[in-house]
Structure 1
C-alpha cells in the first residue's frame, strides 16, 4: 500500500511541475541581418634600439721587404744600391656584421704611432652603412661588410719593429 501511495504522489508532483513552453513561428527574414562591425588593432609596444655588431680582424701581419743589390764601388768607397721596396700583408681583412635592430654606420681609419708616421694605411672601402638585421636571417650576406688594410710608405732599417 505504501508503494501505491508513493507512486500516485510521484505522478501528482510530476503533473504539477510540468510547464508547457510554446514558441511563435519565426520569420527567417527577421533573423538574418547584415550588421556592420568596426574593429581596429592598436599596438602600443615600446621597442628599444639595440646595437650589436661582430668585428672580425685578420692577423694584421705586414712585412716591408727590400729586395735588390748592393754593389761595392771601389772608386767612391760606398755601395751602389739598386733596390725595390714593397709591403706585403697576411690577414689584412676586417669584417663587420650587424646584429642590431637599426642600421649602423661603419668608418675605418688608420692612425700610425708617432714614430711610424711615414707609414700610411688605406682601406679598400672605408665607409659603410649596414642595414638593420630586423626581419633578416642571421646569415644574410647584406648584414656583413668587409675591407682590407694596405700599408705604404718607406721604412728605414733603423726603425724599431712594428709590433704595437
Structure 2
C-alpha cells in the first residue's frame, strides 16, 4: 500500500466520522431545543377552566399564568410538533373510583372555554365530584374527541344525543 492510498482511506474515514458526528449533534440538539410551547389561546382556555374549579388538593398548582408552557402542566399532554393540547387527564381519587379520598377530587363547573381546545382528543374527569350539575351540553361539540370519561363524577341528567355522532 502506497502513501497516497493510505492518505485517501484516512481522509475518507475522517470525512465519514465528521458526517456522523454532525448528524448526531443535529439530532440531539433538535430534540432538546426544539420544544414547542403550548398554544396561547389554549393556555388561556385551560386557565379559565381551572378558574371554575375547586381544587382542594392543589392538583392544578402547576396551572399558573406565569408558566407559559401548559404542556408541562399536571394532567395535560400536547402534540410535540404543534403544541396543541390533545389530552386532559384529571381523574380524581388517583383514578380509584371505588375508594373515596377526601380532598382529592375536583369540584365546580366545567367551563365552556374547553371548546377552544380544537385538537382535544382525550378528556378524563372521572372520579371527581361535580355536585350533581348537568353534563355540559357543549361536551358533544368537540370535533376531535375520541375518549371521554366522566364516570363516577357526580354529574346529573343525561349526556347529550349529539355525543359520538
TM interval, shorter chain, is under 0.3
TM-score scaled by structure 1?
0.19
Larger helix proportion of the pair: 2
Larger strand proportion of the pair: 1
TM-score scaled by structure 2?
0.19
| Bigger Rg over Cα | 1
